[in-house]
Amino acid sequence: MKLLSIWIAVLSCSATLVAQDVAVRAELVHTVSGAPIRDGVVIVRGGKIAAVGAAASTAIPSGVRVLDAKVVTPGLVDAHSVVGLAGYLNQPQDQDQLDPSAPIQPELRAIDAYNARERLIVWLREHGVTTVHTGHAPAALISGQTMVVKTRGETVDEAVLVPFAMIAATLGSDSRASGDKSPGTAGKQAAMLREALIGAREYQRKLAQAGDDASKRPDRDLRKEALLALLERRVPLMVTAQRHQDIASALRLAKEFDLRLVLDGAAEAYEMIEPIKASGFPVILHPPLARFAGELENASRATPKQLLDAGVLFAFQSGYEEYVPKTRVVLFEAAVAAAHGLGPQAALRAVTLDAARVLGLEARLGSLEVGKDGDLALYDGDPFEYTSHCIGTVIDGVVVSETVR
């Protein structure tokens, strides 16, 4: 009964919280876009950052709610998740991240499946995660669409930032079918993707020929309409590819169809540094704490530093968990990378500003700069220290959590 009461309170909290002017005083302010500020202040007004600076030279206006912390960072950005589609119960009724009925389903919209009141979203929010790129899971050749949300709001309409962010595809054993079903081989995977894109291109041609003449327009095809977003470069194709040969196939496909590409997972990216760098495409790297087995058997925790040294834009993700607790926390993933050569500054950037850059939202998110969204994470110590806790989270000027995690 006590647990039920707590859960009801969690569900209702977002309804009672309203935007207000907030000031955060901290012994250390990580702006990410610039040097850290000792004894600093961040002021949020009207949901946007209004001032960032040293406490001695940054006056806090009267009437502003003041929060105190040892360290404040930008709100964390999870570059790839399935949270909100995959729920914490791990039961059929809250697992909407994958429809196994067909291998190619780009028409499946994340916005139609997202549960803004999912308990895992509360969990992430309480750890300082303020923005999540989420959607259909990497377990089908094309599993569906993704979206970007803030981790607040009782409905998807309140949470959504980008309703259609990417189309999620997977190359490798995770999307291969068993028995006599397709795709059963790497060659068949590439052929099926190529065939789908060629079909969408033909659909595009017919639409152009018909012009304004409705009688000549082809029948609506939701699948091809979704793929048109790739061909017209309105959204990128996010390809989960762990092994070097699948990474090469993704790069080849993007070049052939002039697609925007985001490489996801990329466990063997260290084998493909030069081609990835030459492509200019970003990487959403697998969680460093993931089990290094199966497709990830050759993964390395040194890869983030190698990508950094090569100048490849990358970010961390919580990824897709098939087992309880169903989601990771990107802060912990970044901490492991920091300890394996990446260093704390680059690790923090990979879950803030660089993650925002991968998602094309760096003008709004990822750093503490005047005019950006008022998204902050507050800590009682170094965020990457095991003994530190997230003690508060602010999203768009709303204090959405003061739970100590």
Predicted confidence (pLDDT) per residue in 167-178, tens digit: 999 999 999 998
Q: Give the domain CATH number at 283.
A: 3.20.20.140
| The model's pTM | 0.94
Quick one: pLDDT at residue 19? 66
* 207 and 327 belong to one structural domain: yes
Sole residue written with tokens 């999307």? 175
Q: What residue type is 53 in one-letter code?
A: G
* 59 and 83 belong to one structural domain: no
**In sequence order, what are the residues at sequence separation of 6 or more whose Cβ sits closer than 8 angstroms to the Cβ of residue 9?**
none
Quick one: pLDDT at residue 6? 40
| Structural domain boundaries, residue 309 | 76-363
**In sequence order, what are the residues at sequence separation of 6 or more whose Cβ sits closer than 8 angstroms to the Cβ of residue 62?**
none
* 95 and 160 belong to one structural domain: yes
Count: domains in the chain: 2
Q: What residue type is 29 in one-letter code?
A: V
* 226 and 329 belong to one structural domain: yes
Quick one: pLDDT at residue 320? 86
Quick one: pLDDT at residue 180? 85
Please identify every stretch of the chain with a pLDDT value under 70, giving residue numbers as ranges: 1-19, 324-325
* 285 and 159 belong to one structural domain: yes
DSSP alpha helix (H) spans, 49-185: 119-125, 156-159
CB 327 within 8 A of CB 137: no
* 297 and 370 belong to one structural domain: no
Q: Which of 363, 381, 396 is the last residue of a domain?
A: 363
* 271 and 142 belong to one structural domain: yes
* 67 and 189 belong to one structural domain: no
* 99 and 69 belong to one structural domain: no
Q: Give the domain CATH number at 392.
A: 2.30.40.10
* 202 and 81 belong to one structural domain: yes
Sole residue written with tokens 């002039």? 258
Task: Estimate the crossing angle of helix 222-231 against helix 186-210, to 10 degrees.
Answer: 90
For 176-211, give one letter per residue: b (16+ CB within 10 A) or e: beeeeeebeebeebbebbeebbeebeebbeeeeeee
Quick one: pLDDT at residue 263? 98
* 67 and 82 belong to one structural domain: no
Sign of the four-CA dihedral 92, 95, 100, 105: positive
* 62 and 154 belong to one structural domain: no
Please return the burial class of 64, using the count of CB atoms within 10 Å of its CB with bins 0-12, 13-18 and 19+: middle
CB 162 within 8 A of CB 156: no
